[in-house]
Amino acid sequence: MLAFGNLPAGDPPLEIGGLPGPELYLHDAWDTEAVRTIPEDADILLVGTGLTMVDWAFSLGRQGHRGTIHALSRRGLLLAVTGRPDPTN
């Protein structure tokens, strides 16, 4: 058995529908330096509503981001809430 983990996502077709050029698209969601390249007043679209989206939202907030952050689920789902943390653990 082989366990490869999460492989990099494929690039979306950026040439359609009047989308911005590839210079405004960050390919690697795990590139920890990429958050520093985003202008602090830019509007952001995060594709996916899982834990990686939460990591990005917090990272943007820590660097003082002031633009609007949108999160779009690929499957139309909201972030799953699994319960309240137990403060005794």
Structural domain spans, the chain: 39-79
pLDDT above 90 (res 19): no
| Best CA proximity match to 25, nearest among 33, 8, 17, 37 | 37
Can you give the pLDDT at residue 84? 72
Q: Which two tokens stand for residue 69?
A: 């952050």
Q: How far apart are the first and last CA of the chain?
A: 34
Q: 22-26, 35-39, 71-75: which has the minimum mean pLDDT?
A: 22-26
Instruction: Give the mean pLDDT of 67-79.
Output: 83
Can you give the pLDDT at residue 10? 65
How confident is residue 64, by pLDDT bands cut at 50, 70 and 90?
very high
Contacts of 89 (CB under 8 A, 6+ apart): none
d(CA 23, CA 6): 24
pLDDT above 60 (res 25): yes
